[in-house]
Amino acid sequence: MLVLVAPGQGAQTPGFLTPWLDLPGAADRVAAWSDAIGLDLVHYGTKADEDAIRDTAVAQPLLVAAGLLSAAALGDVNGAGAVAGHSVGEITAAAFAGVLDDTAALGFVRTRGLAMAEAAAVTETGMSALLGGEPEVTVPHLEKLGLTPANVNGAGQIVAAGTMEQLAALEADKPEGVRRVVPLKVAGAFHTHHMAPAVATLQKAADGLTVADPTVTYVSNKDGQPVATGADVVARLVGQVANPVRWDLCMETFQRLGATALIEVCPGGTLTGIAKRALKGVKTVALKTPDDLEAARALIAEHTTPAV
């Protein structure tokens, strides 16, 4: 069984969209999306520097656009047994599942990025990944420092979020067993109470969406559970900006569903890296450039059942 996943913020790098725009029709598609949401995705995906694409209002639509574009280049992915996304990647996954069409997904993520950027501007905050350690030791230590375990990613990785002062204290006082604390390329303490102001804005945007029920199993960051209705998917997308990402629970569900393969759409690498450590025996392909499409298509052919 194949799982199709989409990465979250911090996966973007300068120029990462460039090779994808050489594919037939890709540049026109991204230009149309840019016009629809009022953001030059082509510029930010090809020419903008690291600081420019770290901006939450830019990074989030850019990541969803890249995920949609690379999935379309794969061809028919209807044989996937489940879809999921990490943080903003959940919106990409909602489009994969047919809950939102591509334009609606990009419009929604544009609103999300702007609202979260505005919330992040209130206080200087950030996020850092902790490598190593055990959750039962790390989580209480973070809470003692006033930090939130905003991403519980599994495979020995937790991401802490909070003020810059709190993150500096973490660097100086690591939990037992943690080897490194790595600052992430994000501009705020996402999935914490710092993002609460963005929830109301997103709810208003969600009220205007046309949604459909998932056509494939959609696994939620909230609790790692499959979600049956489009309305519930969107409700979770709204609330999730201020609540922790439980990617560890998502992976447990992939295992329970019988996952044998996992493809991570562009800019792939982060989630496949975690899967290699946590989902032993599951074959993975990360879509970084179009050169990875052939391997991904081979994985699809091997691990999906064609529709009759």
Query: Which residues are part of the catalytic machinery?
Result: 87, 191
| Residues pairing with 263 in the sheet | 4, 285
Q: What are phi and psi of 8, to 5 degrees?
A: -105, -170
Residues 6+ apart with CB under 8 A from 306: 79
| Residues pairing with 6 in the sheet | 85
Q: How many residues does the chain have?
A: 308
- The Cα 254–Cα 109 span in angstroms is 25
- The Cα 299–Cα 214 span in angstroms is 23
Residues 6+ apart with CB under 8 A from 2: 79, 80, 81, 259, 260, 261, 262, 263, 299, 300, 303, 304
- The Cα 182–Cα 51 span in angstroms is 17
> What is the dihedral angle through the alpha carbons of 128, 129, 133, 138, rounded to the nearest 10 degrees?
40
Which residue type is seen at 98? Answer: G
Contact 126, 183 (CB under 8 A): yes
| Residues pairing with 2 in the sheet | 261
- The Cα 157–Cα 118 span in angstroms is 28
